[in-house]
Structure 1
Amino acid sequence: MADSRFSVLSQFAASDWYGFLKGVEKEGLRVDRNGFIAQTPHPEALGSALTHPRITTDYSEALLELITPVCSSTGEMLESLSNIHRFVQRELGDEVFWAASMPCQLDGDASIPIAEYGTSNIGQLKHVYRQGLAVRYGRMMQSIAGAHYNLSLPDEFWRVWQQALGNQQSLKDFKSDQYFWLVRNFRRRSWLLMLLFGASPALDASFVANVSHNLTRFDEQTWFGEQATSLRMGDLGYHNNAQSSLNICFNELGTYTSTLHRAIHTPWPEYEAIGVQRDGKFVQINTSVLQIENEYYSAVRPKRTTNRGEKPIQALDARGVEYIEVRCLDLDPFSPVGVNASQIDFMDLFLLDCLLEDSPRIGDAECERLDDNYKDVVARGRDAALKLCRGGERALMSDAATQLLDQLEPLADLLDGWNGGNTYRLALADQRRKLAEPDFSGVPSARVLDAMASRGMGHREWGLDVSRQHQDTLRQEGLDAQVLADFQALSETSLAEQRQFEIEENEPFDQFLERYQQA
Structure 2
Amino acid sequence: MKQLNLQGKLEALATSAHRSALRGIKRGIEREALRIKSSGEIAKTPHPRGAGHALTHGAITTDFSESLLEFITPVSESPEETLSQLRDLQKYTLSHMGDELLWPMSMPCFIQHEDDITLAQFGQSNIGQMKTLYREGLKNRYGSMMQAIAGVHFNISFPDSLWQSLQTLTEDTQPPQAFISDQYLGLIRNFKRELWLISYLFGASPALCHSFLQGKSSELPFKKLGQGTLYLEYGTALRLGDLGYTNSAQSSLRVTYNSLDDYVAGLQKAIRSQSDLYQHIPDYQHEAPKQLNKNILQIENEFYSPIRPKRNGRSGETPTQALSRGGIEYVEIRALDVNPFSETGIDLEQILFLDVFLTYCLLKESPALSWEEQKICDLNLQQVINEGRNPDVVLHRGTETGSLKQWGQDIFEQLHRVAAVLDEAHGAERYAPVIAKLSEWVNRPELTISGRIVDQLTSQAQDSGKLALSLAQRYKQYHVSDDYHVFQQAALDTMSERSFADEQDVVAKDNATFNEFLRDYFSRA
**Same fold per superposition (TM over 0.5):** yes
Determine if contact 2:405/2:443 at 8 Å carries over to the other structure. Answer: no
Aligned to 2:35: 30
Listed one character per residue, the Cα deviations across residues 495-514 of structure 1 (whole Å, up to 9, x for unaligned) are 11112212332310001001
Mapping of residues 302-317 of structure 1, within 5 Å: 302-317=309-324
Distance 2:392 2:102 in 1: 37
Q: Does 1:356 align with 2:363?
A: yes
Mapping of residues 111-510 of structure 1, within 5 Å: 111-213=116-218, 214=220, 215-437=222-444, 440-479=445-484, 483-510=488-515
What are structure 2's unaligned runs of at least 5 residues?
Answer: none
Determine if contact 2:18/2:165 at 8 Å carries over to the other structure. Answer: no
Distance 1:517 1:275 in 2: 19
Listed one character per residue, the Cα deviations across residues 482-502 of structure 1 (whole Å, up to 9, x for unaligned) are 710111100000111112212
The amino acid across from 2:138 in the alignment is L
Determine if contact 1:342/1:430 at 8 Å carries over to the other structure. Answer: no
For 2:396, what is the secondary structure of its paired residue? strand
Q: CA deviation at 1:517?
A: 0.5
Deviates more, 1:171-180 or 1:238-247: 238-247
Distance 2:419 2:248 in 1: 40
Q: CA deviation at 1:420?
A: 2.0
Q: CA deviation at 1:481?
A: 10
Distance 2:487 2:380 in 1: 48
Distance 2:21 2:308 in 1: 27
Q: CA deviation at 1:305?
A: 1.0
Determine if contact 2:54/2:61 at 8 Å carries over to the other structure. Answer: yes
The amino acid across from 1:348 in the alignment is D
Distance 1:270 1:359 in 2: 35
Q: CA deviation at 1:308?
A: 2.5
Q: CA deviation at 1:433?
A: 2.9
The amino acid across from 1:477 in the alignment is D
Distance 1:242 1:481 in 2: 43
Distance 1:6 1:359 in 2: 15
Distance 1:32 1:177 in 2: 47
Distance 1:221 1:34 in 2: 15
RMSD of equivalent CA atoms? 1.4
The amino acid across from 1:256 in the alignment is Y
Deviates more, 1:35-44 or 1:147-156: 147-156
Decide which of 65, 72, 78 is 1:67's aligned counterpart: 72
Listed one character per residue, the Cα deviations across residues 407-434 of structure 1 (whole Å, up to 9, x for unaligned) are 1111111111221222111110221232
Determine if contact 2:21/2:159 at 8 Å carries over to the other structure. Answer: no
TM-score (norm 2): 0.96
Determine if contact 2:255/2:266 at 8 Å carries over to the other structure. Answer: yes
For 1:180, what is the secondary structure of its paired residue? helix
Distance 2:441 2:471 in 1: 22
Distance 2:347 2:452 in 1: 15
Distance 2:142 2:12 in 1: 47
Distance 2:172 2:107 in 1: 45
Deviates more, 1:236-245 or 1:47-56: 236-245
Q: CA deviation at 1:310?
A: 1.4
Determine if contact 2:59/2:72 at 8 Å carries over to the other structure. Answer: yes
Distance 2:229 2:214 in 1: 11
Listed one character per residue, the Cα deviations across residues 81-104 of structure 1 (whole Å, up to 9, x for unaligned) are 111111112221110000000001
Determine if contact 2:134/2:291 at 8 Å carries over to the other structure. Answer: yes
For 2:280, what is the secondary structure of its paired residue? helix
Q: CA deviation at 1:57?
A: 0.4
For 1:64, what is the secondary structure of its paired residue? strand
Distance 2:405 2:198 in 1: 13
The amino acid across from 2:488 in the alignment is V
Over 3 Å counting, the alpha-carbon distance change for 1:436 and 1:363 in structure 2 is: closer
Report the identity percentage.
Answer: 38
Determine if contact 1:52/1:494 at 8 Å carries over to the other structure. Answer: yes
The amino acid across from 2:343 in the alignment is P
Q: CA deviation at 1:241?
A: 2.7
Q: Does 1:81 align with 2:86?
A: yes
Distance 2:485 2:446 in 1: 39
Deviates more, 1:360-369 or 1:274-283: 274-283
Distance 1:235 1:16 in 2: 40
Q: CA deviation at 1:403?
A: 1.1
Listed one character per residue, the Cα deviations across residues 28-50 of structure 1 (whole Å, up to 9, x for unaligned) are 00000111111000000000110
Q: Does 1:109 align with 2:107?
A: no
Distance 1:406 1:478 in 2: 40
TM-score (norm 1): 0.97
Q: Does 1:57 align with 2:55?
A: no
Deviates more, 1:17-26 or 1:272-281: 272-281
Instruction: Report the count of equivalent residues.
Output: 517
Deviates more, 1:375-384 or 1:362-371: 362-371
Determine if contact 1:128/1:284 at 8 Å carries over to the other structure. Answer: yes
Determine if contact 1:436/1:442 at 8 Å carries over to the other structure. Answer: no
Distance 1:480 1:357 in 2: 37
The amino acid across from 1:42 in the alignment is H
Q: Does 1:3 align with 2:10?
A: no
